[in-house]
Amino acid sequence: MVQNAFPVRVPLVTEPMGLWKSLQTARRNVLAILPEIATRQPMVSGKTGKRWHMVMDPDALQHILRERLPDYPKSDVTKNLLRPAIGESLFIAEGAEWMWQRRTAAPSFSHRNMTALAPVMTAAAERAVQRLAANGPKRAINMFDEMVQTTFEVISDVTFSGDDAFDRDGVHDAINNYINTAGKISLPDMLGMPDWVPRLGRITGDRALTEMQKIADSAIDRRRKSGPPKGAPDLLDLLLAGADPESGRTMSTEELRDNLLTFIVAGHETTALSLSWALYLVAGDQERQDKARAEAQVVLQGRCATGDDVPKLPYIRQIIDEALRLYPPAALVSRTALKDDILCGRQVRRKDTVMIPIYALHRNHLLWDQPDSFVPERFANRKDIPRYAYLPFGDGPRICIGASFALQEAVIILASLLSSFRFTPVSGVSPDPVMILTLRPEGGVWVMSEPLPRVH
């Protein structure tokens, strides 16, 4: 934890850094190797062992993510990091292998299914409110831990609901262990060395992962035998029933497992981060917190938010949008160019690494007014924001499949918390934004939480 100006930011690089220092710095915080000029220019290129480009220009980003998708597959660094946990799932696969999985999984994330899953989110919000209330009148709480617990309850309930034998704690521990060890960008990964070069993090991370995969496999087999539990179908039922609309192909146990674990890995910490950063931001801005609370209290009248309330909570949504702008959980994604190309008038060669530093895009002075300030009102008129200037969920055919799920969940939980509690900063304590696999608040998000009299 560090003392820092509000809202905290990553100190970006203002002087050239050698290869060794870049690698050392990246091991602690990937974002700390971004050059400050990436927040002022449309594109920055360089060579650190390999040729690389950072792209912050909305038209060039549309070209990479939508128009020329097959020429810019996800980079090997990303795939090497994630493959041990989630296999060749939707997140990692390319080409036809990706396409059929996406077509098969997409209906599970339809608006109708998201509405049906909302009660799970409301129930998790209710438990979070009860836990905070049980802490007494006013107390310092690490809201990052609280939010990780809350979003993990949601994702495990919508993937393996009603399966009492599913070891939630075992899976949670395995994922945490994995992110903390194998998730650290290792030197061989940065240098693009082949897969067989051993990585320390990967070896220590593997045992927990095998265990986690076994737990998921047996839960899937049980469900195949027993059929869906009572009540609304969960993501496992939806995927079990899913078939590629073109080929009719269905998912094997292994494919189901890799995709369900992908939803767990990709879905719970990212959503917890959006909520934790949003709570940090409103704790530091009491006026905006009051405005958000007034909106939530009018709509909720003392209860927790439901799926039906979400459209009635536009200001809560703007706060989530702004938290995702300032602290995008996937703050840097990268691609490898498969063909020579021109981006922003500059030559890109085959095999160059093309990085999309979403953190720098979201704070680029050419695209945003007061880019480092917390101004949720900028999202009041979404049409004013160029689509490819704001990419917390990526875009194009590979846009996050869980975006509506995450936004619905975040609005339900934030509105429920703000209508029942006041959050204020803990004096002298701020989170340090550090990206390992995701942009995390190192040191936690410590705030004073104070229960409010109930509104009826």
Q: Is 329 in the site for ligand HEM (CB under 6 A)?
A: yes
CB-closest chain residue to ligand HEM: 402
Which structure tokens are listed for 160? 């393996």
CA 272-273-279 angle, to 5 degrees, is: 90
SS3 3: coil
Phi/psi at 13 (5° precision): -85, 130
To 10 degrees, what angle do helices 403-420 and 143-159 make?
A: 130
Check the annotation: does 304 bind a ligand.
no
Q: 134-146 burial string, b = 16+ CB within 10 Å, else e?
A: eeeeeeebbbbeb
Q: Which helix (H) or strand (E) holds 150?
A: helix 143-159
Nearer CB in complex with ligand HEM: 422/437:
437
Instruction: Choose which of 39, 156, 262, 408 interacts with ligand HEM (CB under 6 A).
Output: 262
Torsional sign, CA 294, 300, 306, 311: negative
Asked if 444 and 152 count as a contact pair (C-beta separation under 8 A), the reply is: no
Nearer CB in complex with ligand HEM: 329/422:
329
Q: Is 398 in the site for ligand HEM (CB under 6 A)?
A: yes
CB of 343 to ligand HEM, least distance (A): 17
Among all chains, which residue has been given the structure tokens 């704001």?
390
Instruction: Choose which of 54, 90, 260, 319 interacts with ligand HEM (CB under 6 A).
Output: 90
Q: Is 379 in the site for ligand HEM (CB under 6 A)?
A: no
Q: Is 91 in the site for ligand HEM (CB under 6 A)?
A: yes
List, in sequence order, every residue forming a beta bridge with 46; answer none if it has no partner. Answer: 52
Q: Among the candidate windows 129-137, 141-149, 279-287, 397-405, which touches ligand HEM by CB under 6 A?
A: 397-405
Q: Tell me how crowded residue 47 is: count the other CB atoms within 10 A of its CB.
A: 9
Residues 105 and 90: their CA atoms lie apart, in Å, by: 9
Instruction: Choose which of 132, 239, 330, 437 interacts with ligand HEM (CB under 6 A).
Output: 330
Q: Among the candidate windows 36-44, 180-188, 200-208, 391-399, which touches ligand HEM by CB under 6 A?
A: 391-399
Measured CA to CA in angstroms, residue 325 lies from 19, 116, 362, 392 at distances of: 29, 28, 6, 7
Q: Among the candidate windows 10-18, 114-122, 142-150, 387-395, which touches ligand HEM by CB under 6 A?
A: 387-395
Strands 341-343 and 346-348: antiparallel
* DSSP 8-state code for residue 284: T
Q: Is 108 in the site for ligand HEM (CB under 6 A)?
A: no
How many chain residues are in contact with ligand HEM, going by CB under 6 A?
23
Question: Pattern of binders to ligand HEM over 400-419, x per CB under 6 A?
Answer: xxx--xx-------------
Strands 50-55 and 353-356: parallel
Q: Is 333 in the site for ligand HEM (CB under 6 A)?
A: yes
Nearer CB in complex with ligand HEM: 149/297:
149
Nearer CB in complex with ligand HEM: 238/422:
238
Nearer CB in complex with ligand HEM: 74/363:
74
* Site of interaction with ligand HEM (CB under 6 A): 74, 90-91, 102, 262-263, 266-267, 270-271, 274, 329-330, 333, 392-394, 398, 400-402, 405-406
Which residues are annotated binding-site positions for heme?
400
Which residues are annotated binding-site positions?
400
